[in-house]
Amino acid sequence: MNIFDYLRSKNIEPKKVSSSGEHKSSCPACGGKDRFVSFEDRFFCRVCSPKGGDIIDLIKLVEGVDFKTAREISGKVVFTSSGKSSKSTTQLPARPIIKIVPPPTHEWQTAASALISQAHAELLKNENALSWLQSDRLIELNTIKRFKLGWNPVARYDRREAWGLPDEMNNKGRPMLVWLPRGLVIPCYDAKGQLIRIKIRRPDADLKEKDNKYCLVSGSSTAPAFFGISGSSHTVVESELDAILLWQETGDFVSTVSTGGVAMRPDQATVEKLSSGEVTLVSFDSDAAGEKKENLLPWREALNNFIRHPIPPEYGKDHTEATLAGMNLRAWLMAGLAGKKQSPIPPMPPGTPACVLAAFESDYIDELQALVEVETHKNDSEPADEESDSIQGAIDITLLIHRGVELAALSETPEREAINQALDKFDTCDARKDYGGANRALRVLKVAVENASTALQRRISG
């Protein structure tokens, strides 16, 4: 097996860029685009492995295995100290290998913490950056402070020694430095609260064609980052900023996790933490990469509580786009959890108005619970199948809408808007004979009603 064979086993097709045999592609280790340079017998990544190496070095980097295992996977001939050669024809493992990803060094964390503190103070003075975060990313000031987001006002290059990193030379024979571009500084922590990486989101004005928006600071870990630890369930997304927005909207009952990229794989510590919870909703972007089997399979096979819960594509690609398009992020997430947990609507306390009690009669709860258990019609453009017909035959749609309207009239603004959005979506889909969309709207309506009933309980009790 050579470098190209291994890349193709990861569904990465290297692109030839010169007559010398140089190829470029995305990196199978860190997931970055156009930063991985390979030849038939050697490679390097400009971000995660500037020194590079041969096929065995690459397998050790990506799979997190020792030399012996990497040699067996590669099938490469290796000469021993006795001069005899050994060769293994072992194929790539059928199941992904879960890597142990160590945190950065203490020296790196010290330098990173200093940058975070300086950048956070700069961001709180930068009205334009704060305005962009609040309007384009919907991240509120309290959330910005909670996660110490920051702003690096001027690009700079630090000596690697200052970050506790060994000296390295680039492919031109010059000492490598730690590049800190101008932009939004995003600190990332693991499940134990250790600082593991910094990403810098560069301003669009600074980007040239094919430039990456995000810079991973040298020495950072590629393990998934946790934003808030709460509840017994977790949601895994790609972007750090999407994870922060999710925490802002749902952090009282779930933990949010960012992979940092669709091609990133779970490490051992992350698998242990996620598997200890009740549900892990994996919600990669609703695009071609987010739907690829090779990107979902490592998470599905590593986690015993895996549930895929993508953003409905009509709302956009990612969680921020969906929220800007009017999707209720909290109701969407609760719908994903409801399908697994099948939590009943909480009972109403004494003193609840009669019209609200009527909306939660046992037969109504049973009908909604049955609805949640029915899978969405696979092709929304086709007429309803027998399953969809049975749903519409079992539920009085007029009564459902009437009860939703009754409860909305008694709710505070957020709960009322969530119910009304679900009702509006159902009306639109029903008028278009979009049965799959109508079923999804009813799922969201059930969760919105559950959310409103909980809020109403608090108001009546307190």
pLDDT tens digits, one per residue of 245-279: 999 999 988 999 999 998 888 999 999 999 999 99
* pLDDT given for residue 118 in this prediction: 97
Q: Which distant-in-sequence residues (6+ apart) come within 8 Å of 292 by Cβ?
A: 11, 262
Half-sphere exposure of 25 (CA within 13 A, CB side): 22
How confident is the model over 278-316, as pLDDT tens digits? 999 999 999 988 988 888 988 988 898 999 999 988 899
How confident is the model over 54-104, as pLDDT tens digits? 888 898 888 877 777 787 777 643 434 344 444 444 444 444 567 888 899
Q: How far apart are CA 116 and CA 199, in angstroms?
A: 11
How confident is the model over 424-453, as pLDDT tens digits? 787 677 667 777 777 778 778 878 877 877
Q: Between these two residues, 187 and 34, which has the higher pLDDT value?
A: 187
* pLDDT given for residue 461 in this prediction: 55
Q: Between these two residues, 137 and 29, which has the higher pLDDT value?
A: 137
Q: Between these two residues, 212 and 408, which has the higher pLDDT value?
A: 212
Residue 318: pLDDT band (50, 70, 90) is: very high
How confident is the model over 381-411, as pLDDT tens digits? 444 444 444 333 334 454 555 556 656 766 7
* pLDDT given for residue 363 in this prediction: 39
Q: What pTM value is reported for the model? A: 0.60
Provide the phi-psi class of 229: left if phi over 0, else alpha when psi is between -120 and 50, else beta.
beta
Q: Which amino acid is at 374?
A: V
Average pLDDT over residues 16-33: 81
Q: Is the pLDDT of residue 326 over 70?
A: yes
Residue 315 and residue 322 in contact, taking contact as beta carbons nearer than 8 Å: yes
